[in-house]
């Protein structure tokens, strides 16, 4: 199976954007949008600037629903004595290749796990030179593809960002928010949701993100509609989404989990009356350099988002 705009996905994955340092991915997205928006069905209003930090909002026509896709990734901060401090929840795997840039220029390192006699564990880096304190390191890009799946660091959530850009090409009415800080506590969605509510009356949200393969959610069964994780979307909104999905004929599966969170969690904890639902393809090897997503699930993710943005 061949994916349209696959090269764009590979480009997105290669751009460093650890939580709190999303400036490069923002600049890339603004440049891409500027070069391509004239070829989309509707040319969107592009909203960004200091009051939005590194987020971007696209507004198409008369929006009723907003897609939220976070641009940040997990990674590490360099601490004292070659310590690595997690940003978000990367899995600590010995030998994992990391890249970054400090005041001396580009740098590469590997994860080193040190266990003490009491059973404790320290996570350090090994590199050819010392890396400046506070430097953010991310997984080294390593894009792989077979006929069935794509495997790479940061499918979560560069694949969600890429999906939103595919939906943008044919969107008549709606908004797309490229959010920040999702992997490390959430930050920007409340501000963006408040802006869209105040200026456009948008009360509905879809969280365009990547979920996990579990014993109840599997590869190749279609995009997952999450009925709950650690948070619970409003049932009347969820019922509408499932009814539209069933009528569309797009393959999907239902997810019911007890843990996990997303930009939807931030919306639910806010004081805003925003309905939300997490919808995304499932990946294996979560938060590692080897995240794997089946192409058929990617296709159904794009198709269902197009249908929902039209019908909700």
Q: Do the domains 75-139 and 6-73+143-311 match in fold?
A: no
45-47 and 56-60: which strand pairing? antiparallel
194-230 pLDDT, tens digit per residue, is 999 999 999 999 999 999 999 999 999 999 999 999 9
| The pLDDT of residue 118 is above 80 | no
- Report residue 123 as tokens: 């996570």
Q: According to CATH, what is the number of the domain 6-73+143-311?
A: 3.40.630.10
296-306 pLDDT, tens digit per residue, is 999 999 999 99
Q: Which of 219, 3, 185 is nearest to 88 (CA)?
A: 185
| The pLDDT of residue 243 is above 80 | yes
120-129 pLDDT, tens digit per residue, is 889 999 999 9
Q: What is the pLDDT of residue 126?
A: 98
Domain spans, the chain = 6-73+143-311, 75-139
26-70 pLDDT, tens digit per residue, is 999 999 999 999 999 999 999 999 999 999 999 999 999 999 999
| The pLDDT of residue 170 is above 80 | yes
251-292 pLDDT, tens digit per residue, is 999 999 999 999 999 999 999 999 999 999 999 999 999 999
What average pLDDT score do residues 150-157 get? 98
Question: Topology of 75-139 in CATH?
Answer: Elongation Factor Tu (Ef-tu); domain 3 (2.40.30)
pTM of the model: 0.97
Q: What is the pLDDT of residue 185?
A: 86
CA distance 282 to 301: 10
62-114 pLDDT, tens digit per residue, is 999 999 999 999 999 999 999 999 999 999 999 999 999 999 999 999 999 99
What average pLDDT score do residues 172-197 get? 95
């Amino acid at each position: 199976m061949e994916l349209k705009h696959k090269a764009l996905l590979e480009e997105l994955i290669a751009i460093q954007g650890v939580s709190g340092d999303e400036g490069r991915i923002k600049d890339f997205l603004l440049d891409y949008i500027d070069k391509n928006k004239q070829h989309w069905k509707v040319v969107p209003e592009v909203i960004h600037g200091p009051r939005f930090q590194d987020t971007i909002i696209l507004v198409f026509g008369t929006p009723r629903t907003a897609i939220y896709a976070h641009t940040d990734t997990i990674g590490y901060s360099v601490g004292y004595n070659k310590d690595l401090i997690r940003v978000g929840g990367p899995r600590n795997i010995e030998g994992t290749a990391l890249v970054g840039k400090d005041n001396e220029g580009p740098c590469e390192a590997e994860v080193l796990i040190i266990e003490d006699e009491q059973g404790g564990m320290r996570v350090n880096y090994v590199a050819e030179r010392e890396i400046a304190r506070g430097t953010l390191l991310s997984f080294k890009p390593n894009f792989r593809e077979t006929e069935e799946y794509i495997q790479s660091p940061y499918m979560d959530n560069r694949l969600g960002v890429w999906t939103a850009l595919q939906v943008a090409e044919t969107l008549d009415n709606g908004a797309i928010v490229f959010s920040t800080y999702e992997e490390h506590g959430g930050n920007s969605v409340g501000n963006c949701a408040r802006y869209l509510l105040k200026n456009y009356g948008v009360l509905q949200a879809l969280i365009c993100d990547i979920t996990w393969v579990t014993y109840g959610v599997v590869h190749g069964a279609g995009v997952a509609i999450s009925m709950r994780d650690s948070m619970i979307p409003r049932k009347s909104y969820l019922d509408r989404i499932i009814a539209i999905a069933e009528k569309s004929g797009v393959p999907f599966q239902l997810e019911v989990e007890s843990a996990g969170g997303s930009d939807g969690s931030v919306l639910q904890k806010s004081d805003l009356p925003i309905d939300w639902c997490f919808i995304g393809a499932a990946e294996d090897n979560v938060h590692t350099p080897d995240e794997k997503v089946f192409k058929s699930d990617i296709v159904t993710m794009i198709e269902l988002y197009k249908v929902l943005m039209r019908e909700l």
